[in-house]
Structure 1
Amino acid sequence: MHEVQMDKMKKFGKTYVGYEYVQPILITIDPDLIKSVTITHFENFTDILNFKIEPKVTTLDTAGGTVWHVLRKNMSPTFSSGKLKGMMEPISEIANEMIEYLNQETPKNPDIDVKQLFQSFALETISQSAFGIKSDAFQNKESELLKHGREGFSSFVMHNFAESLLNLALNQFPGLLSYISLFPAAYYKLYDITANIMKQRLDQGIKKKDFLARLQELIEEIKENPNGEVGKNLTDEHITAQGAIFFLAGFETTANALATLCYNLAQHPEIQDKVREEINNVVDEFDGRIDYESVQSMKYLEACIQENLRMYPPATLHIRQCTKDTEIAPGLVIKKGMRVDFPIYTSHHNPEFFPEPETFNPDRFLPENEKTIKPLTFRPFGGGPRFCIGQRFALIEMKLAVAKLLTSYQINTSPKTKLEFDKGSPFLLSYPELVLRMNII
């Protein structure tokens, strides 16, 4: 799908109108129009979906209107610097477990499917940091949680004409959702896991300071003050749903980004050596520690992550629904009910925004060069007030994983190395595997 979007932009320019059946959709990578929709007139473009869904699947990324505002306001404190540091504490040890796993596996075969490796890392991170449980993801390849995570997004991929037609039908006739669920079975299983963990904590009087603890606080707030802001707008199901989406959103996208970053570093050993040198220097300054505090000083590593997110953004577009007729530019009126699409991959690969877009060049994102990047041309986490709430969590998690990995391993390509993207994925740059050769240093 990202290739289709690239072809359309080359043919029609930065802004054009497409159609689903007879429904027009404005499609643009023009940063001024994106700003107008996502920031200037945000109050008329708060929604993602143009139909109502049950509370059980109303997550931060699907909610709209007042429900989104209340959810966002009450979930944001979970990702403050203080709370974030506490949630990230287990990740350094999880990264050590990843290295131990590689130490076991590489003597048998140095060719490692890094997509699968980082799926295990992401699962263990979410399990311990957000849910307060250990999943043993590196050793247990038959883990139910691992299975649910892999199935969660793969269910949205269209594999044939019939599935494509069904996807279009659901978009055009949302009443069908009364008979066909838009969300995969894996999502509902993750919802049940979230609900069960919270119930167990409540029954046993367990107190923690993680993501689920915040959800429990909000549910208690509803009970204590049903007429307050939270109680009037949200149900227990709305809140429990945030646990399921935290898992899904943080699983596939993080694994996807970490694997493609390793792919880029394997193809550019001089850049990999430069990152490793920075990591070693910072570690020396922090008494050998790779943790939440030390990775903040790894600016070149962060630039590599950002450049990789530019080249291979896990999400290929984000969308908005218009809730009120709005003139977003002189003479350009978006009618109520019309959708606006903002292709991410296409923007990131536009040579006007990023010269030589197919070249992996982390220098673009060094602090001294970032001012040359026009706002809203780089949007791996979306843009405006609806940008991904877990952005900082994801970036720190990735920095910790790569810093640990590069202090122990040299990443190289292998004869088995190939990056082939799935066809029919409407909004993800997904791929089944990515094999790289890991050589211990």
Structure 2
Amino acid sequence: MELASIVFILRALALLLLPLAFLLLKFRKDPKIFEHLTKFKGPAAYPIIGSAHNLIGLSSIEIFNRICYTDIKNFGRLFRVWVLNSPQVVIGSAKYAEKILQGMVHHAKSQNYKILDSWMGKGLLTANDGMWKIHRKILTPAFHFNILHEFLPILNKCSKVLVEKLEEPAQRGQTIDIFEYVTLCALDIICESSMGASINAQQQNDSAYVKAIRELNDLLVKRYFTPHLRVDWIYNLSWHKWKTERTIKIANDFTDKIIEDRRRYLKEVKGEKSEHIDEFTQKRRPLAFIDLLLAAQDEGEQYMSNKDIRDQVSTFMFEGHDTVTTATCWALFILGTYPEIQAKVVEELNRVFGNSGRSPSMNDLNELKYLERCLKETLRLFPSVPFFERHLREDQPFEGGVTAPGGVTASFNVFVIHRDPEHFPNPGKFDPDRFLPENSIGRHPYAYLPFSAGPRNCIGQKFAMMEEKIVVSTVLRHFVVEAAHTIEEAQMKVGLVLKPENGLKIKLRRRSGADEDLAISS
């Protein structure tokens, strides 16, 4: 055989064998981790692909049903899965969640969050320990009670615009997907309150940013649950990456414009004494979330670089509008499903506001106890963020003689944790009185995790609840809400937030005696 032919054959073998060798090395299982995880129940796992064969070919609805119903039924509330070579321990119970979420040992996010890096970079959601601690400290003042109080006029104004937009379908008796309306309202709120930018999304009805976020949700989730797209070098060669980067650019362009507009505004007013001056200290205090980022940058690049600012704004823009939208829409839909409960909410609204037609004050919001219980119960049944993950830094023993080894991912199924009959009897029933003080005594502190828990809980949870209260109460003061389909017909799909495949359809009727106009200011 000629030398050239031998060289050709050797090269051909190399091209065939090197990828296989790469895969075997890449996806080999750590002996210690493998030994520990064999003691857990879980779906069958095979070389290289792990348990991913269970998800191949399934729709996003089927994946949701598998991980929230089928797997829990088959393996219980603590089991293991292998996604390629990535070992995960799935947590579906408060007692197991407590072991990991309490304290600082396991508060690092899992490696799977790197899928979000191209979009959110190292914002609070995805940042490592050191950066997270610095940025969390910088941003915490943005959510102080006094700052939230000053956002009231913005929330009331945007809610009033929402009501105006709902008037036409209400008059026509039209069935609408409430997501289409609340999404734009929430975007207006987050941009004007936290980013200092009035974008009037509700007046345009066609936001490229909103479309990009929806597409990103689907693209990122598809990558997470598609085995070969989890492999970086395959993903980098894929059409999926091109579509993701194109969509991220749309979101980033929107974010960059908001940052630059705010930066320009702050330069223009720098040194001027205005409503931004604290009456006690006589020092200028930032009111918007983005102001704190820009102020930190002024103190030095080591605190906040340009990329850091974009990452934080991208993260908060998503979490501050998409998660709140989801919670608000579910609340309106649920209240439209249970008219007797809606009537109690309206009775409370009438007691607090009477026929005044005024917008809510902070004191008013504090008086809306029953509405607050309804919102909490909605978040129990339909948590906006149904799944999140942590990285285990060290071995974590559980009862029953099993130990989750250091290095694995802990995956928290909040949807399942919230429906544990041990802590919520008859868990599928919507019952706001579960959150009466007397009924909450003794409940496990990790049985309810709508805003996560521990050191890395949601920094904006008070803002979110305030926004939900204002938007829902404003809508209900104007309209009777009727669900246009059953809860069972709302088919949940796996995603970054808990949205049904076909949205949530409702009908609205002008409430008898409702004021024609609500005041804009509080």
Q: TM-score range by the shorter chain?
A: 0.7 to 0.9
> Which residue does 1:428 correspond to in 2?
497
Q: Which of residues 79, 97, 109 in structure 1 aligns to 2:161?
A: 97
> Which residue does 2:183 correspond to in 1?
119
**Structure label with greater radius of gyration:** 2
Give the 3 Å change call, closer, same or farther, for CA 378–129 of structure 1 in structure 2: same
Aligned with 2:201: secondary structure?
coil
Asked if the contact 2:197–2:258 (Cα under 8 Å) also holds between the matched residues in 1, the reply is no
Give 1:72 shift: 1.6
More deviation in 97-106 or 355-364?
97-106
Tell me how far apart the structure 2 counterparts of residues 273 and 37 of structure 1 sit (CA, whole Å): 41
Give 1:218 shift: 1.6
Q: Which runs of 5+ in 1 are unaligned?
A: none
Give the 3 Å change call, closer, same or farther, for CA 168–333 of structure 1 in structure 2: same
Q: Which of residues 92, 95, 105 in structure 2 aligns to 1:29?
A: 92
Asked if the contact 1:137–1:146 (Cα under 8 Å) also holds between the matched residues in 2, the reply is no
Q: Which of residues 187, 191, 196 in structure 1 aligns to 2:257?
A: 196
**Residue identity opposite 2:306 in structure 1:** D
Give the 3 Å change call, closer, same or farther, for CA 437–196 of structure 1 in structure 2: closer
Aligned with 2:328: secondary structure?
helix
Give 1:176 shift: 5.9
**Residue identity opposite 2:295 in structure 1:** E
Give the 3 Å change call, closer, same or farther, for CA 73–164 of structure 1 in structure 2: closer
Give 1:63 shift: 1.3
**Residue identity opposite 1:15 in structure 2:** L
Give the 3 Å change call, closer, same or farther, for CA 248–181 of structure 1 in structure 2: farther
Tell me how far apart the structure 1 counterparts of residues 77 and 254 of structure 2 sit (CA, whole Å): 43
Aligned with 1:90: secondary structure?
helix
**Residue identity opposite 2:218 in structure 1:** S
> Which residue does 2:299 correspond to in 1?
221
Give 1:265 shift: 0.9
**Residue identity opposite 1:76 in structure 2:** T
1:12-411 matches, within 5 Å, as: 12-40=75-103, 42-49=104-111, 53=117, 57-158=121-222, 167-171=226-230, 173-174=231-232, 180=241, 185-204=246-265, 205-207=267-269, 209-223=287-301, 226=302, 230=303, 234-284=304-354, 288-327=358-397, 332-411=402-481
**Aligned residue pairs, count:** 425
Asked if the contact 1:28–1:343 (Cα under 8 Å) also holds between the matched residues in 2, the reply is yes
Tell me how far apart the structure 1 counterparts of residues 207 and 507 of structure 2 sit (CA, whole Å): 25
Give 1:402 shift: 0.8
Give 1:79 shift: 0.9
Tell me the alpha carbon deviations over residues 353-399 of structure 1, each in whole angstroms, 9 at most, x when there is no partner: 21111111111012332224321111111111111111111111000
Give the 3 Å change call, closer, same or farther, for CA 381–29 of structure 1 in structure 2: same
Give the 3 Å change call, closer, same or farther, for CA 202–23 of structure 1 in structure 2: closer
Asked if the contact 1:26–1:341 (Cα under 8 Å) also holds between the matched residues in 2, the reply is yes
Asked if the contact 1:49–1:62 (Cα under 8 Å) also holds between the matched residues in 2, the reply is no
Give 1:150 shift: 2.9
Q: Which runs of 5+ in 2 are unaligned?
A: 1-62, 270-285, 512-522
Asked if the contact 2:197–2:262 (Cα under 8 Å) also holds between the matched residues in 1, the reply is no
Give the 3 Å change call, closer, same or farther, for CA 134–200 of structure 1 in structure 2: closer
Q: CA RMSD in A?
A: 2.9
TM-score under structure 2 normalisation? 0.74
Tell me how far apart the structure 2 counterparts of residues 50 and 262 of structure 1 sit (CA, whole Å): 33
- State the percentage of identical aligned residues: 24
Tell me how far apart the structure 2 counterparts of residues 115 and 67 of structure 1 sit (CA, whole Å): 34
Tell me the alpha carbon deviations over residues 33-81 of structure 1, each in whole angstroms, 9 at most, x when there is no partner: 32221113x3344223268657961111111221122222221111111
Give the 3 Å change call, closer, same or farther, for CA 120–417 of structure 1 in structure 2: farther
More deviation in 305-314 or 187-196?
187-196
> Which residue does 2:66 correspond to in 1?
4
Asked if the contact 2:88–2:410 (Cα under 8 Å) also holds between the matched residues in 1, the reply is yes
Give 1:304 shift: 0.3
Tell me how far apart the structure 2 counterparts of residues 143 and 82 of structure 1 sit (CA, whole Å): 31
Give 1:137 shift: 2.3
Give 1:185 shift: 4.1
Tell me how far apart the structure 2 counterparts of residues 348 and 275 of structure 1 sit (CA, whole Å): 23
